Amino acid sequence: MAQRVRGVIAPGRGEPVRIETVVVPDPGPGEAVVRVQACGVCHTDLHYREGGITDEFPFLLGHEAAGVVESVGEGVTDVAPGDFVILNWRAVCGQCRACRRGRPWYCFNTHNARQKMTLEDGTELSAALGIGAFADKTLVAAGQCTKVDPAASPAAAGLLGCGVMAGLGAAVNTGGVTRGDSVAVIGCGGVGNAAVMGARLAGAAKVIAVDIDDTKLAAARRLGATHTVNSRQQDPVEAIRELTDGNGADVVIEAVGRPETYQQAFYARDLAGTVVLVGVPTPEMKLELPLLDVFGRGGALKSSWYGDCLPSRDFPMLIDLYLQGRLDLDAFVSETIALDGVEAAFDKMAKGEVLRSVVLL
């Protein structure tokens, strides 16, 4: 029997969100219905609301979530009712070349639930990133659910579903930060600060946090930054060089998404160092670099897609580290809110007042 639940809907381009009744069908083959417990508010939800991602309004927003599997459809064996799970954006096929080579985020055959959730009048909803978790319950592909230790707080666990995984994975998976490295992180919002935490987890000797906002830098200190640079007061490239005996950092992570910070990241790394690009630029942005610098500095320029994570490998492991007190996911939860607080949370996010607002259900 289809169920009726509350959900946060983006009705049309730029219009404020509103809470509406969402009809969630029973799970079909390969699908699961999840009772959502927590869902973080991420920039991508705001981009959906503004029509910056696709035009397929109305959207059911929310995609950084954890909850309990309520029911599963035919053929589902990896998760069962009662499992505590973190949701990921897309189920991967496990068969294609990208999957076989351990890069499932480039999978050619990703999928979400085949059925659609709807409004009461039957209007089909597009689920943000194939999830739609600002709702009491949501329908996903079973492969979007990763079972983790239920002792974790849902608010903390959900964050691994998007922003924190993106930043942490940029350091640990994409950047390959290793014991003794010097690491610089440019931009210390939720994503950059997760990279700071990841760099410390991976054993970096120096973690240099760069931002234009001192409160973000204070958070970075708490999460393991050894040095902080306010780039309104100091040239960040010079500061990073000075802090690394004139060399530059082994790994520089860019978590802003602007040409000037891409450029800073490029020049702040040591010769043969690695630059990891996590900040998402807009289509108009361009970066001009002297080819001789590109050629002469060696090393690698990498972009990091969802932290290059393997949910089935990374989510349970990171939750275990969290439960052991080695990963402070709670530090990212600036506030917990109800479903009707999403619009206000967008404002706080745009003003940079929070690392994460998390909806509890």
Interface with ligand APR by CB under 6 A: which residues? 43, 163, 166, 186-192, 210-213, 216, 231, 255-258, 260-261, 278-280, 352
Q: Is residue 301 part of the contact set for Zn ion (CB under 5 A)?
A: no
- Comparison of 96 and 331: residue with beta carbon closer to ligand APR: 331
- Comparison of 93 and 360: residue with beta carbon closer to Zn ion: 93
Copy the structure tokens of residue 88: 């990921």
Q: Is residue 345 part of the contact set for Zn ion (CB under 5 A)?
A: no
Q: Is residue 321 part of the contact set for Zn ion (CB under 5 A)?
A: no
The full length of the chain comes to: 361
42: buried, middle or exposed (CB in 10 Å: 19+, 13-18, 0-12)?
A: buried
- Residue 109 Cβ vs Zn ion, minimum distance, rounded to whole Å: 5
- Residue 25 Cβ vs ligand APR, minimum distance, rounded to whole Å: 31
Whether 62 contacts 132, CB under 8 Å: yes
Three-class SS of 66-98: EEEEEEECCCCCCCCCCCEEEECCCECCCCCHH
- Residue 258 Cβ vs ligand APR, minimum distance, rounded to whole Å: 6
User: What is the pattern of x (binds Zn ion, CB under 5 A) and - over residues 154-193?
Assistant: --------x-------------------------------
- Comparison of 106 and 115: residue with beta carbon closer to ligand APR: 106
Residue ranges in the chain assigned as alpha helix (H)? 43-49, 97-100, 154-159, 163-169, 190-201, 214-222, 236-243, 259-268, 291-297, 311-323, 342-350
- C-alpha 313/C-alpha 45 separation (Å) is 26
- Comparison of 107 and 185: residue with beta carbon closer to Zn ion: 107
- Comparison of 45 and 211: residue with beta carbon closer to Zn ion: 45
Q: Is residue 357 part of the contact set for Zn ion (CB under 5 A)?
A: no
- Comparison of 99 and 209: residue with beta carbon closer to Zn ion: 99
- Residue 59 Cβ vs Zn ion, minimum distance, rounded to whole Å: 13
- Comparison of 148 and 194: residue with beta carbon closer to Zn ion: 194
Main-chain phi, psi angles of 344, to 5 degrees = -65, -35
192 binds, among Zn ion, ligand APR, none (CB under 5 to 8 A by kind): ligand APR
Whether 323 contacts 152, CB under 8 Å: yes
201 binds, among ligand APR, Zn ion, none (CB under 5 to 8 A by kind): none
96 binds, among ligand APR, Zn ion, none (CB under 5 to 8 A by kind): Zn ion
Tell me which residues in 19-78 interact with Zn ion (CB under 5 A). 42, 44
CB atoms within 10 A of CB 228: 19
The number of helix segments (H) and strand segments (E) in the chain equals: 11, 18
- Comparison of 91 and 186: residue with beta carbon closer to Zn ion: 91
Q: Is residue 99 part of the contact set for Zn ion (CB under 5 A)?
A: yes
CB atoms within 10 A of CB 318: 28
Q: Output 151-154 pairs: Cβ under 8 A, ≥24 positions apart.
A: 151/323, 152/66, 152/84, 152/319, 152/322, 152/323, 153/38, 153/330, 154/37, 154/38, 154/66, 154/67, 154/84, 154/360
162 binds, among Zn ion, ligand APR, none (CB under 5 to 8 A by kind): Zn ion
Copy the structure tokens of residue 185: 């992180």
210 binds, among ligand APR, Zn ion, none (CB under 5 to 8 A by kind): ligand APR
* Angle between the N-to-C axes of helices 259-268 and 236-243, in degrees from 0 to 180, rounded to the nearest 10: 20
- Residue 134 Cβ vs ligand APR, minimum distance, rounded to whole Å: 17
Q: Is residue 358 part of the contact set for Zn ion (CB under 5 A)?
A: no
DSSP state, 5?
E
For binding to Zn ion (CB under 5 A), which residues are involved?
42, 44, 92-93, 96, 99, 107, 162
